[in-house]
Amino acid sequence: MQRRRFLQSSALASTLLLVPKFLHALDRPEARLATMLRDAPAGQARRLVVVQLSGGNDGLNTLIPYRNDLYYKARPTLALQATDGLLPLSDDLALHPAMKGLKSLFDQGQVAICNAVGYPNPDRSHFRSMDIWQSGSGSDQTLSTGWLGRYLDNSCAGCALPYQALEIDDTLSLALKGASRNGLALKNPGKFHQLTQSRYLSRLSQEKAAASGSELDYLYKTLAETASSADYLYDKSKIHNSTATYPNTDFGRNLKTTAELVNSGVESRVYYLALSGFDTHVQQRGRQAQLLGELSDGLAALAADLQKSGEWSNTLVMVFSEFGRRVTQNASNGTDHGTANNVFLLSGALRKAGLLNPAASLADLDQGDLRYQLDFRSLYASILTDWLGADASLVLGAGVAPLAGLLG
């Protein structure tokens, strides 16, 4: 049987595109977070939940320098005022008023914020900058595998099956694609299981007897692993149904699915979610307020859900965006693509919470953009080493050091 015939005959290739997701890899050749994160409860594996804010969230109107005259000068109509109901975190910085849920977690010592996170020679293209963040590369590199995919390849003990890293979406991001192992993308365990039970799988298994060749063997192995993972996730998903109240949005439902899988005992080490819509070139205030409220309420619901089940202390949530926005507002009451941004870390096991480093200076800009202070790859290295217990050098290369002198 020819490979083309195989792909054409598979319903999986034409619906959730499961086969291509896995085939992508075939042609692609001191004080650390340990001082910040308490040990997980005995016998419980730690997990990482990554939340991607797609489009480039405006960090300056998320974490607001509300006593800085330069901020108000750069944003005469877009800047948020103290009278707007800001949520102060310090004498100088406040959260957006829509983020009350996150502020409550901050006050409980369950949020840490890294300011001015970025990388040298930043790229302002959505696609290229997201590739950089998802692959863990430098701006002068192009990698075909993701940082979490390489974690699965090299450092995740017992992570042979794809359900060890789950993206709660219909397609798999670069971040979860490795050279030999990939994560799995699904929106709903029940529908995903139903798809893998389709009549096409039995037809394909019958045709397997007439097939030969290592590539076809790999395809069938992939389908078998996918079906096995679907069975596992479907069976587990029936164990626990969350009664927590999440935002009635796609992102809220994805967070609820994540919590249900965690609370059902799914062994996944990584969950990956995205909230889109942050490319706010026009009329930013209303749109960003809606999105930040959805993010904050959703994360607060997730934390409460996992606290109730005792799973919050071995969960770390990282929230990032591919870049920030320009310091000066544009003529459309929005902001254009910028550079450095804040990254939020949430967990019930933070040793050191709060603002982990100073905000970027508004008096020392790089051609109108914030200068980065922390390289995002050092943050990745700390998470890999000190939270997931991985060898960061196998994932990011020998030249990337974990954060030192910042989190202790």
Question: What is the chain's pLDDT, residue by residue, as a tens digit (408 residues)?
Answer: 444 444 433 334 333 334 333 333 333 333 445 455 555 454 468 999 999 999 999 999 999 999 999 999 999 999 999 999 999 999 999 999 999 999 999 999 999 999 999 999 999 999 999 999 999 999 999 999 999 999 999 988 778 888 999 999 999 999 999 999 999 999 988 888 887 776 455 555 555 555 555 656 666 667 777 887 888 888 888 888 889 999 999 999 999 999 999 999 999 999 999 999 999 999 999 999 999 999 999 999 999 999 999 999 999 999 999 999 999 999 999 999 999 999 999 999 988 899 999 999 999 999 999 999 999 999 999 999 989 999 999 999 998 988 864 443
What is the pLDDT at residue 113?
Answer: 97
What is the pLDDT at residue 30?
Answer: 38
- Number of H-type helices and E-type strands within the chain: 14, 12
What is the pLDDT at residue 217?
Answer: 66
pTM: 0.87
Closest CA to 389 of 136, 48, 132: 48
What is the pLDDT at residue 211?
Answer: 53
255 token code pair: 């967070």
2 token code pair: 């020819």
Which of helix, strand or coil describes residue 364? coil
What is the pLDDT at residue 13?
Answer: 37
Beta strands in 135-177 (DSSP E): 165-167
Amino acid identity, position 73: K
Distance CA 344, CA 99 (A): 13
Which of helix, strand or coil describes residue 345? strand
Distance CA 179, CA 79 (A): 45
The per-residue pLDDT for range 288-309, each reduced to its tens digit, is 999 999 999 999 999 999 999 9
What is the pLDDT at residue 223?
Answer: 74
120 token code pair: 């040298």
Beta partners for 182? 177
Beta partners for 114? 343
Domain boundaries, the chain: 31-159+238-396
What is the pLDDT at residue 132?
Answer: 98
Q: For the domain bounded by 31-159+238-396, which CATH number is listed? A: 3.40.720
What is the pLDDT at residue 215?
Answer: 59
Distance CA 377, CA 402 (A): 8
